Amino acid sequence: MKTLVVIQARMGSSRLPGKVMLPVAGRPLLQRMVEQVAAARSRFELTVAATTDPADDPIGALCAAIGVPCFRGHPTDLLDRHARAAALAGADVVVKIPSDCPLIDPDIIDRVLSFFHRSEGSYDYVSNLHPASYPDGNDVEVMTMAALDLASREARRPLEREHTTPILWDNPHRFRIGNVAWESGLDLSMSHRFTVDYREDYDFVKAVYEALWTPQNPTLRLGAVLDLLAARPEIMAINARYAGVNWYRHHLGELRTVSARETRAPGDIA
């Protein structure tokens, strides 16, 4: 089976415009993100799914410079963008990873993909998000092309089109759903925020890279990041007020399988 990893990226973030091109350890954040994903040992092809908006031309130029395919699709319908990118690549299995996770551990990608492939067709969709346990920003979602196609044809609600996969994981009576929990037994999903959505998130990621990244050791691992945060709590504090904040809070009345315990408003735990 051909596996395609799709990194969704755009310049038009409402909270932090152009975040994917902000510098991290001397390179654009998106390039560091691609490097982390490419360090996984699993066999897959990789593409960046940007939008047709001319503002995303720098993403296309970066992808050309670093030798990564770039698909340009619908600006707001991410479900359509993923489905078209996957169809163009002839994928059998599609992995969705957002571009705002530049600290994603390649080993976690391997673990989720290994679970999916070992299950020998037992699941339509597998992630490490439902329920989540890893620090926010280690998001891996794997689905069959058949499931993605069906989702693209049938999804009607705006949240399903914008967020790509809710029609799958929020309908466990229709789709075979699997989840990979952190083998440590810990749950840091609401307390540790490694994703980039706000300026403080970028400052946090930049500080982590400045502390850990070297040309000799270019791949960051979860254990090393957690050790750094334990030793330097001032880095952990940079974006602490956004810990647990995610898009779920805007749709709690529409989602069947997400509760208020899985999201917070900015500043709730500051």
Taking only the tens place, the pLDDT of each residue in 142-153 is 999 999 999 999
DSSP secondary structure code for residue 135 in this structure: P
Of 215 and 1, which is predicted with more confidence?
A: 215
Give residue 45's domain range.
3-184
Is pLDDT at 55 greater than 80 in this prediction?
yes
Q: Evaluate whether residue 169 is within a structural domain.
A: yes
Give strand ranges (E) for the chain: 3-8, 23-24, 27-28, 45-51, 70-73, 93-98, 125-127, 141-144, 177-179
CA–CA distance, 100 with 107 (Å, rounded to integer): 18
What share of the chain in percent tops pLDDT 90? 96
For residue 269, name the pLDDT band (cuts at 50, 70, 90).
low
Residue 233 lies in a domain: no
Q: Number of structural domains, the chain?
A: 1
Residue 268 lies inside a defined structural domain of this protein: no
20 C-beta neighbours (distance < 10 Å), count: 27
Helix, strand, coil percent content, the chain, rounded in steps of 5: 40, 15, 45
Q: Establish if 141 belongs to a structural domain.
A: yes
Whole-number mean pLDDT of the chain? Answer: 97
pLDDT > 70: percent of the chain: 99
Pick the closest to residue 79 from 180, 147, 16 (CA basis).
Answer: 147
The residue whose two tokens read 């709730």 is 268
Residue 21 inside a domain? The answer is yes
The CATH number assigned to the domain holding 135 equals: 3.90.550.10
| pLDDT score of 270 more than 60 | no
For residue range 7-38, list pLDDT tens digits in order: 999 999 889 999 999 999 999 999 999 999 99
